[in-house]
């Protein structure tokens, strides 16, 4: 399944990018307050390389010791490479993910043997425990520990302060053993730095880390947490993937990499952490103390309001001797989360088809915050099918519960082409007949257009050709050029206008 070499560290992936001229070092002084985000955003919008800022300047004017890496996944090609495949290999990886979510039993020995590569990948995912690691070459505790000396960015003018934006937050539920990695959760949550040894953990109630925190809180105990900075690409992307709850992100990262992940015991908390990471912040999340987190610029393009989230008491910072600090920003698309989401949507298509087989393709426009609008093409066979698909997406698949508009088109329409969509809407949809409205459905509380926080309407638009009882009129035939004439024109123009792009 994996077509690229394994990337056991962030640095190995950076070397791969550099060999392909997708890596740029910036020696000029650049402030971590606003300037770094401005540079990153312009490079990302141009489809540019990974950036390394060698001279990051802290708000007090001093130089940070760690270099800053940004724009790691600033193109779909680099996201796919981080998963170990080129863009055209995403379908096979998506099928593997679909099998993980809904495995079917093998039918006889031949089928079992045909699945051996997948079984071998799963076996390779078992982590390897080590006693020493590069990420613990330096251990900072007590007076030596100061989060404010890290090059943590303040991204937008209205932000409340410095924000960790690419942390892999490792937790386990109460009552589990440190060695039981299969029970671990690794998620990406933003973290506001408050002081040298205090921060705020923003994890929403439905996320795995928050569930683990509740289990420790119910026992009246603090939650051990490890905040991994600068993990390898497979660990970063596995932590962002919507994996089944029965699969640990850390073990799945080993499957993606095609090699066993190396884990080491943390120094001050009862957790195992990636041995090859750049930094790890260790600490305890309070069961009852909260602090106002935010406001911060969010993926919607607006600032979200300040809300109370749990406080972290930091006990140690472990790192390599010359650590790299990985960062990104969130804002109105395009941003790295939107680009990653675009690739993840392609990975999710086999899983979606397994539940709604008539779906042929699907597009979640990045400009619509990557999930607020969905365009779906279907193999239409009976009246009312488009509405069934809308309700199936909203009701059967949790990831679409916050999708406020679903547009359904026929399979002759490219759902990723706005011109095709506009033509289908203009010629196959009647507003009085083909629009379905729902009220008081779940919605992301960051949607300021919602009448009530967490509750909003949804719209479904049937832009398919109407058949059977859906219409009483004869439907016009779609015009197509004869393929022989198309081939003739292409051959002729290749000779008389060789530079013409069809």
| Residue-by-residue DSSP string for 298-347 | -TTSSEEPPEEEEEEEEEEEEE-SS-EEE-----SSSSHHHHHHHHHHHH
Residue with tokens 């330096």: 138
Angle separating helix axes 90-101 and 336-355, nearest 10 degrees:
60
pLDDT for residue 259: 85
Whether 183 has a pLDDT exceeding 90, the answer reads yes
DSSP string covering 140-209, please? Answer: E-GGG--GGGS---B-STT--S-EE-S-EEEE--TT--TT-GGG-EEEE--EEE-SSSEEEE---TTSHH
Token pair for 462: 């049937």
Whether 219 has a pLDDT exceeding 80, the answer reads yes
pLDDT for residue 302: 93
Whether 246 has a pLDDT exceeding 80, the answer reads no
Strand bridging mode 435-442 / 359-363: unpaired
Region 290-319: mean pLDDT is 96
Whether 118 has a pLDDT exceeding 70, the answer reads no
Region 144-160: mean pLDDT is 97
482 is catalytic: no
pLDDT for residue 101: 65
Backbone angles phi, psi at 148, to 5 degrees: -70, -10
Share of the chain above pLDDT 70, in %: 94
Region 399-417: mean pLDDT is 95
Whether 399 has a pLDDT exceeding 80, the answer reads no
Please answer whether residues 323 and 56 qualify as being in contact, where contact means their C-beta atoms are separated by less than 8 angstroms: no
Identify the structural domains of the chain with CATH numbers, from first to last: 10-326 (2.30.110.10), 356-470 (3.40.1670.10)
pLDDT for residue 251: 87
Query: Which of 159, 197, 232, 298 is labelled catalytic?
Result: 298
At 32-66, the pLDDT tens digits run: 999 999 999 999 999 999 999 999 999 999 999 89
Please answer whether residues 270 and 178 qualify as being in contact, where contact means their C-beta atoms are separated by less than 8 angstroms: yes
Lowest mean pLDDT among 11-25, 248-262, 456-470: 248-262
DSSP string covering 347-415, please? Answer: HHHHHHHHHSTTEEEEE--GGGTTTSEEEEEE---STTHHHHHHHHHHHH-GGGTT--EEEEEETTS-T
Alpha helices by DSSP H, 397-501: 418-428, 431-434, 483-496
Lowest mean pLDDT among 199-213, 237-251, 261-275, 300-314: 237-251
Round the average pLDDT of the chain to a whole number and report it.
Answer: 92
Whether 109 has a pLDDT exceeding 80, the answer reads no
At 7-23, the pLDDT tens digits run: 999 999 999 999 999 99
Please answer whether residues 234 and 253 qualify as being in contact, where contact means their C-beta atoms are separated by less than 8 angstroms: yes
pLDDT for residue 3: 87
Region 249-277: mean pLDDT is 93
Whether 123 has a pLDDT exceeding 80, the answer reads no
At 368-389, the pLDDT tens digits run: 988 899 999 999 999 999 999 9
Please answer whether residues 324 and 10 qualify as being in contact, where contact means their C-beta atoms are separated by less than 8 angstroms: yes
Which one has a higher pLDDT value, 371 or 196? 196
Cα dihedral across residues 189, 190, 195, 196: positive or negative: positive
Whether 110 has a pLDDT exceeding 80, the answer reads no
- Residue 113: band (very low, low, confident or very high) from pLDDT cuts 50, 70, 90: very low
pLDDT for residue 418: 96
Region 434-450: mean pLDDT is 91
- Residue 116: band (very low, low, confident or very high) from pLDDT cuts 50, 70, 90: very low
């Amino acid at each position: 399944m994996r077509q690229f070499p394994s990337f056991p560290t962030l640095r190995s992936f950076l070397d791969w990018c550099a060999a392909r001229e997708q890596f740029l070092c910036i020696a000029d002084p650049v402030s971590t307050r606003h300037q770094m985000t401005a540079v990153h955003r312009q490079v990302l919008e141009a489809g540019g390389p990974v950036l390394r800022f060698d001279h990051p300047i802290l708000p007090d004017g001093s130089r940070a010791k760690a270099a800053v890496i940004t724009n790691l996944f600033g193109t779909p090609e680099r996201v796919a490479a981080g998963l170990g495949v080129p863009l055209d290999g995403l379908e096979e990886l998506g099928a593997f993910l679909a099998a993980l979510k809904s495995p079917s039993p093998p039918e006889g020995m031949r089928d079992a043997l045909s699945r051996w590569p997948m079984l071998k990948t799963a076996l390779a995912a078992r982590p390897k425990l080590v006693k020493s690691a590069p990420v613990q070459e330096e251990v900072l505790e007590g007076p030596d520990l100061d989060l404010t000396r890290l090059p943590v960015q303040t991204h937008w003018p209205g932000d409340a302060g410095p924000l960790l934006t690419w942390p892999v937050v490792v937790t386990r539920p109460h009552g589990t053993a440190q060695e039981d990695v299969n029970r671990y959760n690794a998620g990406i949550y933003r973290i506001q730095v408050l002081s040298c040894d205090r921060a705020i953990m923003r994890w929403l109630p439905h996320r795995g880390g928050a569930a683990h925190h509740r289990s420790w809180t119910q026992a009246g105990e603090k939650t051990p947490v490890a905040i991994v900075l600068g993990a390898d690409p497979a660990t970063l992307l596995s932590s962002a993937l919507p994996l089944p709850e029965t699969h640990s992100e850390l073990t799945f990262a080993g499957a993606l990499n095609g090699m066993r992940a190396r884990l080491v015991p943390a120094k001050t908390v009862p957790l195992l952490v990636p041995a090859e990471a750049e930094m790890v912040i260790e600490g305890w999340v309070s069961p009852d103390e909260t602090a106002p987190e935010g406001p911060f610029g969010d993926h919607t393009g607006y600032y979200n309001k300040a809300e109370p989230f749990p406080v972290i008491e930091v006990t140690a910072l472990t790192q390599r001797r010359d650590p790299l600090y990985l960062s990104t920003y969130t804002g109105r698309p395009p941003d790295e989360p939107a680009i990653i989401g675009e690739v993840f949507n392609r990975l999710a298509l086999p899983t979606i088809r397994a539940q709604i087989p008539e779906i042929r393709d699907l597009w979640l426009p990045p400009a619509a915050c990557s999930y607020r609008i969905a365009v779906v093409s279907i193999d239409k066979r009976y009246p009312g099918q488009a509405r069934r698909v809308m309700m199936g997406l909203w009701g059967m698949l949790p990831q679409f519960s916050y999708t406020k508009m679903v547009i359904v088109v026929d399979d002759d329409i490219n759902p990723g082409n706005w011109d095709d969509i506009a033509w289908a809407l203009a010629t196959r949809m009647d507003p009085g007949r083909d629009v379905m409205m729902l009220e008081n459905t779940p919605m992301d509380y960051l949607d300021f257009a919602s009448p009530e926080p967490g509750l909003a309407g949804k719209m479904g638009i049937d832009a398919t050709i109407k058949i059977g009882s859906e219409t009483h009129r004869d439907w016009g035939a779609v015009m197509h050029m004869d393929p022989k004439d198309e081939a003739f024109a292409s051959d002729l123009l290749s000779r008389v206008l060789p530079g013409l792009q069809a």
